[in-house]
Amino acid sequence: MMFREPDDIPLTPGVFALLNRKRRFAYVSYTSNLQKRSHSMSHMLLSHDADPAVYWPIRDLPKHDSGEYTFRVIRADRKHAGGESLVAVATAQRRLLAKGFRIISGHRATSPTIRLYGRNMTLVDAVDAYSDVKYITVYRRLERGWELKQALGIENPAPRWHHQKQRQRREREAARAEGR
């Protein structure tokens, strides 16, 4: 798909690639809004042009002039792709690898797909539907090995290493369960 103007990029979910043809690498990911993601990527690159010390959200993406990058829509979905998004990203990465590109990973890669209450959904959807906790907090909790329901705040987290606080916490939970 080729889009002449940034506003021609659809407001739909889809898979995109941030390509650097000169240096032969690509960052491929899924987003829930292609147009918004293209604008945020553009802002990231242009901000870096103005001040190389600004925040760079994709830590493994090499820092080069914005003119070297192209935002390309790989697949635009009219409906949320769910688990298919991971397959579409992997397919796009394989195609780019076959063309000689190096694939850049990053912590902002494809949104994880999880299974909760018998349904497959993205982590973003699970946070929206079942949690008051911010997405990034849930994501980092999962990275640290928390159980899904604990990370979402549905269940209490496992006690930590401080034994006295663990005992106090268990007593509070027992008291709450007994209705004191």
Taking 3-state DSSP, the helix, strand and coil percentages for the chain, each rounded to the nearest 5, stand at: 40, 20, 40
Provide the residue-wise pLDDT of the chain in tens; the chain has 180 residues: 344 455 688 888 888 999 999 999 999 988 888 998 998 888 889 988 998 887 787 878 889 999 999 999 998 875 544 556 767 787 888 899 999 999 887 654 456 667 889 887 778 888 889 999 988 888 778 777 788 899 899 998 877 667 777 788 788 888 888 875
User: Distance between CA 53 and CA 59 in Å, rounded?
Assistant: 13
Q: Tell me the domain boundaries of the chain.
A: 1-110, 112-180
- pTM score, whole prediction: 0.57
